[in-house]
Structure 1
C-alpha cells in the first residue's frame, strides 16, 4: 500500500472514529437528560405533600419522560450503527409493537418500493420475485372540513297553473346555520370526551381558515343538548331503577355572575355498572350539578331513586341519607376498601408502620379473592367470599381494635384505624350480596375526567352551563362505558331525532342499543 493510500485510509478511520465518538456523546447526553427527568419525577411524586404534583398534573411529566425516552432510543440506535460501521436504516426494525394490531376497518394505502435494479449482477438476466417484507404504519390525514351543498329542485306543470312539487327541507340543529350534525357531534365529543375547551377548538378551526368563535360553538352545543335531553332523561330513569348505585362527587368552580370571581359548585356522579357480577343491565353514568356539597343537594337528585344499596366513600352526607325513611326502605350503605387502603399506604410510606404493612397485606388478600371471581355470577362470588374472605374479616376487626389500644390516640395511625372501624358495617356488607363490590372504583374512574376538564376549562360559565356540562358529559361517558363511539352515536341520534323519531320509542335511542363495534369506541 503506497503512502497516498495510507493517508486516505488514516483519514477515513479518523472520520469514522469522530463519527462514533459524536454518536456516543449524543447517546450519553440523552441518557443523562432522561435520568435527570426520572429523578425529578421521583421527587415530585414521593416528596413531602407540599412539593408533590396533583394527580391531575402528574400525567404531564410522564408525557415528557416518554418523549425523552424516544430521543434516547434514536441516539442509541445511531451509536450502535456507528460502532458497527453501518448507516442506521429501517431494513431490520428492532420493534414491531403494532404490527398485526392495527384495526381492519382502517383503509390501506399500499406502496411498493422496488430495488434500483432487478438484473442479476452476474449477468444471468432478470431476477425472480421470491417473497416480500410487509410492514404497516399508522398514518393520518388531518381533519378535513368540507361543505355540503343541498339542492332542492322545484317542479311545475306546464299545463296546470299553480301546481308545483319540491322536497321538504330537512330539519337541522341550527336552522339555516352552518353546522351539520356531524360537526356538532365533533364539538361535543371534543369538549366533553376529550376535555378540549371551546376556545381551543375555535383556534383549531381558525388554522383551517374557518372563523368560529367559542360563543358560536357554545350555541351549537346548547341547541344539540336541547334535542338530546329526552335521551338523557330516559337514561336517568333506567338508573333510578337500579338496585345498587355508586355515588361520588368532585368540585366544579363556577363563575359568579357580576363580579368575575368563582365559587365552588359540585358534580355528583351516579353510576350503575353490573359487569363485575355478569349482570345484564347496561352500564350508565349520570352527572348531576349542585351549587353545594351538603345533604340537601344529595337528597334532591337521589329523591326518586328506588335502589337498595348506595356504595360510596365515607363522606358523612351519605350516612345521613341512610337515616331517611323511604317507601323502598332505608339505603344500605356499602363502603370502599380502596379509600381505607389509601390511608394505610400513606402511613406505611411515611412511618414504615408495621401495623399499616400488615393491614395492607390483609386487604391484598381480599382483593386476590375478588380477582378470582371477577365477572362471575353473584352466587359464585358470594360463595367464594363466605368461604375465604369471611375468615379474614372475622379476624381483622378484633386485631384492629387491639392495635388501636396500643398506639397513641393522637397519632394519625389511630385516626386511620378509627376511620376504618367506624365504617365496618359498610365495609363488610359485600359478604351479604354477591352483586356488591369492594370499592367505588367504577364511579371514581368516571369522575376523574371531570377534574381534567376543570383544569383545562378553569370553570363553568354559570349554573346553567354547569348543568348542561353534566348532561352532555353523562351521554359521552355512557357511550364509552358501552363501547360505543360517542361521535357516531351523537351524530346519528341527532339526525334520527330531527327526522321525527317517536318519543314513545326513546328506548331505541339508548347508547347500549347501538350495535357499533367496541373497537371503534373513542
Structure 2
C-alpha cells in the first residue's frame, strides 16, 4: 500500500510539474508573440523612417519621378538619331519625306509673337528658259524659340517749368509717382518676379541673386527679401478681403503644415506652423471662386484654429484626424460649432503604409474598397449637389455600410496591441465624420484640395530651409495665399502681383477692394 501511495504521489507531482511546464510554455509563447509583434512594429517604424527620409513622400508615385530614369535614355536616343541622320546625309542615302511634317503647326499658343523668316530659292528662273516661275504656295514650319530674361532700366523724367515773366516765382512739375521703395531700385514687375520666384517657383533669394549676377546685376539677397516684405505689407488688405470672403462660406477645408523659423537670439530653428483654409466649389459646380489663405502660428493647438475661424458663420469643415479640430465642434468651447467631416485619404494612407512593410489581406481589401468609392467620385465630379447625393446613396452607401461590420470583425481576429488594429480604430472612431459626404453633395471625400494647395510650401521649405524671422513667416503666408489663389483661378501670379502693387501705389480706393481680388484680374 505504501508503494502504491508513493507511486500516486509521484504521478501527482509529475502532473503538477507538467502543468507548470505547460503553463510556463504557454506564457513563453504569449511573450514570444508579443515580442514578435513588437519587433515587427519596430521594423515597420524603421522602414517607414527610411522611406520618409530617402523615399517617396506619397503612396502614389509622381509621374515626373517615374519618368526620371528614362530622360537619360531618351537623350542617348536623340544622340543616336542625330548621328544616324548625319551619316545618311553624308552617304546620300537619306530619303526625303513624302510630305512635309506639320506636327508643330497649330500646337503652339496663339498669343506668342510670330517672327517670320522667308527663305527664297537662289533663282526662280525656269531652267528651260521660260522665264520666272509663279508662286503657287508655301511650306510653313513653326519652331519654338526663347529670348533669355532681359533686364531694362526705366528712366522717369519729370520736366520742370518756370515762368520767365515772374522771374521764376511760378513753376510747374508733375508729382513723383509713388514707388514700392522710395527712391529705390525695383519696379513692381521686378519685385513680383522675385517674389513668385521664391514662393511659387521655389528659388531662394540667394539663387536668384546668382541668376541676376550672370547678367552683371548685383542684387543682394537681403535686398530681395526686404522688397518681398514691403510687397507683402502692401498686399495685406487683399489677403484680409480674401479672408472676409471666406467667412461667407459654410463648406471649407482646413489643414496645417510645418514652417521652420529661425528663433531670434538662439541660432536654433523653431518649428512653427502654417494653417490653411480652402474654399473650392469646383467639385460640385458652385459659383463662388476658389480661395486659399495661409496663416502663420507658433502652435498647432485647436485654439489657433478657433482664432483663425473667428467670425465665420460655421458649417461643415473637412479636416484630417488632428485632435485640435475637435475643439471647433464642441458647443461648450466654440460659439458657433462646426460639423466635422473627415478625410478618407488619410485613413487609406495608413493601410498603404502598413502594407508596404507587412503584406496584409486586410490592407489589400480595405484599399480596394476605398478605390471603389473613389471610382464613383470620379464619375460625379462637377455635377450638381443633388445628383452627387443621389449617386452616392445608390452606389457608395452600400459599400460604406458593408465596410463597418467587416472592419469590426477584423478587430476580433487581431490583438489589441497590433498596429493594424490602431489603423482600423482610427476610422471607426470618426465614423460619423467619415460618412458625412454621403448626405451632402457639397462635400468631398478627402482634403486633397487643401493638400494640393499646401504642396508648394514643403518645396519652398526644402529649398529655403527656414524663414529668417516671425515676420518672414508671415510674409511667406501672405504671398503663398496670393499665389495659391491665383493658381486655383488660372491667373498668372506674377502679372497679378505686379499689377495689384501698381494699383495700390496709385491709391486704389479701399471701397473697391473687390476689384483687386485674383479671380477678377484680367491680365
TM-score by structure 1 length? Answer: 0.83
Aligned partner (choices 144, 149, 156) of residue 150 of structure 2: 144
Give the distance between the partners of 1:505 and 1:512, measured in 2 at CA: 14
Give the secondary structure class of the aligned counterpart of 1:147: coil
Q: Deviations over 1:18-52 (max 9, x none)?
A: xxxxxxxxxxxxxxxxxxxxxxxxxxx99963774
**8 Å CA contact 1:249, 1:267 repeated in 2:** yes
Cα distance change on mapping 1:330 and 1:86 into 2, 3 Å: farther
Give the distance between the partners of 1:463 and 1:471, measured in 2 at CA: 13
**8 Å CA contact 2:355, 2:363 repeated in 1:** yes
Cα distance change on mapping 1:145 and 1:78 into 2, 3 Å: closer
User: Residues 374-413 of structure 1 correspond to what in structure 2 (within 5 A)?
Assistant: 374-413=381-420
How much has 1:67 moved relative to structure 2? 3.4
1:157 is aligned to 2:157 = no
How much has 1:211 moved relative to structure 2? 1.1
- Larger deviation, residues 226-235 vs 129-138: 129-138
- Larger deviation, residues 361-370 vs 171-180: 361-370
1:501 is aligned to 2:505 = no
Q: Deviations over 1:330-371 (max 9, x none)?
A: 211111111122222234444442222222222122112212
The runs of 5 or more residues in structure 1 that have no matched partner are 1-44, 517-522
How much has 1:99 moved relative to structure 2? 4.3
Aligned partner (choices 94, 107, 113) of residue 107 of structure 1: 113
Q: Deviations over 1:245-269 (max 9, x none)?
A: 1111111111121232212111111
Aligned to 1:268: 275
1:447 is aligned to 2:451 = no
Q: Deviations over 1:432-456 (max 9, x none)?
A: 2110000001100011110000011
How much has 1:192 moved relative to structure 2? 1.4
Aligned to 2:57: 55
**8 Å CA contact 1:484, 1:511 repeated in 2:** yes
Cα distance change on mapping 1:324 and 1:211 into 2, 3 Å: farther
Give the distance between the partners of 1:512 and 1:362, measured in 2 at CA: 38
**8 Å CA contact 2:319, 2:341 repeated in 1:** yes
Give the secondary structure class of the aligned counterpart of 1:266: strand
Aligned to 1:169: 176
1:514 is aligned to 2:521 = yes
Higher relative contact order (CA 8 A, sep 6+): 2
Cα distance change on mapping 1:316 and 1:481 into 2, 3 Å: same
Give the distance between the partners of 1:405 and 1:93, measured in 2 at CA: 71
Aligned to 1:70: 74
How much has 1:467 moved relative to structure 2? 0.9
- Larger deviation, residues 400-409 vs 122-131: 122-131
Give the distance between the partners of 1:413 and 1:499, measured in 2 at CA: 61
**8 Å CA contact 1:254, 1:462 repeated in 2:** yes
**8 Å CA contact 1:334, 1:430 repeated in 2:** yes
User: Residues 201-350 of structure 1 correspond to what in structure 2 (within 5 A)?
Assistant: 201-325=208-332, 329-350=336-357
Give the secondary structure class of the aligned counterpart of 1:405: helix
Cα distance change on mapping 1:50 and 1:506 into 2, 3 Å: closer
Aligned to 1:190: 197
RMSD: 3.0
- Larger deviation, residues 82-91 vs 365-374: 82-91
Aligned to 1:435: 442
Cα distance change on mapping 1:59 and 1:430 into 2, 3 Å: closer
Aligned to 1:462: 469
Give the secondary structure class of the aligned counterpart of 2:455: helix
Give the secondary structure class of the aligned counterpart of 1:155: strand
Aligned partner (choices 357, 368, 373) of residue 361 of structure 1: 368
How much has 1:145 moved relative to structure 2? 0.8
TM-score by structure 2 length? Answer: 0.83
**8 Å CA contact 1:46, 1:52 repeated in 2:** no
The runs of 5 or more residues in structure 2 that have no matched partner are 1-46
**8 Å CA contact 2:345, 2:447 repeated in 1:** yes
Give the distance between the partners of 1:59 and 1:92, measured in 2 at CA: 36
Query: Aligned pair count?
Result: 472
**8 Å CA contact 2:260, 2:465 repeated in 1:** yes
Give the distance between the partners of 1:289 and 1:364, measured in 2 at CA: 35
Give the secondary structure class of the aligned counterpart of 2:312: coil
How much has 1:79 moved relative to structure 2? 6.6
Aligned to 1:27: none
Q: Which structure is larger by alpha-carbon Rg, 1 or 2?
A: 2
**8 Å CA contact 1:157, 1:164 repeated in 2:** yes
